[in-house]
Amino acid sequence: MTEAELETYLHDHIPLSRAMAVRVASISDDKLILGAPLGPNINHRDTVFGGSASAVAILSAWSLLHLRLTAAGQPSRVVIQRNSMEYLAPISGDFTATATLGTDAGWDGFLKLLTRRGVARITVGAELEYEGKVAGRLSGEFVAFGKDRL
């Protein structure tokens, strides 16, 4: 899936992404970057609303899992089960959320469990960046339900 195709998918299937003007900046096997402007995500202090920052971080992690599972031939329904968000600095302009699967994420075990049981959990991290600095960090636990549970 290309950046443009994923962006269209997100806007069509997750309407909040369109309202927040989320764009897909970059896709690779182990990293996905989303961007969002300040305008539709602004709060009363002229910075990004915390809920918007968290939503873009979650969306980047979800998108990375969605693409990885699709590429692995494992159509799944992916939902977030829990997350923690750490806000490190105010964001006063356009920002990005970069989701990654670390080497210790347990991807192979996750796929095996999903294949065998039809459900599996994995933790994905994302970092918010503004003006070249980390402005926030997300740790999200996601659950994938395999094709028999779609």
Share of the chain above pLDDT 90, in %: 89
80-120: pLDDT as tens digits:
999 999 999 999 999 999 999 876 678 999 999 999 999 99
Average pLDDT over residues 53-69: 97
Average pLDDT, the chain: 94
| Confidence band of 149 (pLDDT split at 50, 70, 90) | low
Query: What fold does the segment set 3-149 form as a domain?
Result: Thiol Ester Dehydrase; Chain A (3.10.129)
Whole-prediction pTM value? 0.94
Q: d(Cα 119, Cα 110) in Å, to the nearest integer?
A: 9
Domain segments of the chain: what residues? Answer: 3-149
DSSP string, 93-125: S-EEEEEE--TTS-HHHHHHHHHHHSEEEEEEE
Evaluate if residue 150 carries a pLDDT over 70.
Answer: no
Q: How many CA atoms lie within 13 A of 45 on its CB side?
A: 7
Which of the two residues, 38 and 150, has the higher pLDDT score?
Answer: 38
| Confidence band of 141 (pLDDT split at 50, 70, 90) | very high
pLDDT value, residue 117: 93
Q: Which of 54-58, 73-77, 118-122 has the lowest mean pLDDT?
A: 73-77
